Amino acid sequence: MDPRPFIIYDKGVSSLSSRIRRRRRQLGLSLSQLARIVRTSPATIARYESGWHRFQLYTLEKLASALGCRLKVELQAVRPASPAVSWRSARRRLGRLFWDTPLGEADLRRHPRWVIRRVLEFGDLADVQLLVRLVGRSGILREACSIRFGSRKTHSFWESMIGLEGLVCSGACCRREAEVCWRT
C-alpha cells in the first residue's frame, strides 16, 4: 500500500479545495512555490484552493503529485436505487394537486406536461421526488424546460433549478397573457 496521503474528490468541491490548501500548508509551501512545481500560475492554485468547481483532472494529478499525495476520484452510488412506485400510491399522493379533474393512470403517459407542471407548480419536495421516481430526472427536465408557469416566482425558481443542470428554459411565464385574458 502506498504510504502517501490521499486527496479524495468524493465529498464535494469545498472538501477537495480545503484538502489541497491543508496539504500545501503542511508542507510549508506558498502558492507561488507550489505553482512553480506544478508549472501553473499562483492564481490557478488559489482558484483550486478556494472552491473552484471546474477542476481539470490533469492539473489535479499534478497537484497531488507535487503535494506528495495520490489523487483518488471515485464514482459510487450515494444510495440504492429507489424502489418502484406503484401507480396507486402515486395517485394517492399526487391526487390532491389535481382538484379540477381526477388524476388517471393514463394521464402521465398522455399528458406528461400537464402532470409535471401541476407537480412542479403546486407540489412539495416529496411530490417532486415521487415524480422523479415515476418519470425520471431527464423526463422532468425535458418537460420543465418548456413549461409556461402561471407565476413569475415559480417560473424563476424552476428556471434557476434547470439552469443549474446546464439547460436553458424556453417557456416564459404566462402571467401577462393570463392577465390580458381576464381583463377582456
Nearest CA to 69 out of 114, 100, 37, 93 is that of 37
Rounded CA gap, 148 and 22, in Å?
A: 47
What per-residue confidence (pLDDT) applies to 181?
41
pLDDT at 117: 87
Measured CA to CA, the distance from residue 20 to residue 50 in angstroms comes to: 10
100 and 60 belong to one structural domain: no
- Return phi, psi of residue 6, to 5°: -100, 145
- For the record, the C-alpha cell of 76 comes out as 459510487
Tell me the pTM.
Answer: 0.47
Looking at residue 180, what is its pLDDT? 43
Task: Tell me if 130 is assigned to some domain.
Answer: yes
State the helix-helix crossing angle for 137-144 and 125-135, rounded to 10 degrees.
110
Give yes or no: residues 67 and 93 share one domain. no
Whether residues 115 and 56 share a domain: the answer is no
**Structural domain that includes position 63:** 6-72
Alpha-carbon distance 137 to 169, whole Å? 16
Cell of 133: 421516481
Which regions in the chain score pLDDT beneath 70?
1-14, 75-83, 166-184
Residue 13: the pLDDT is 56
| pLDDT reported for residue 25 | 95
Residues 61 and 125 in one domain: no
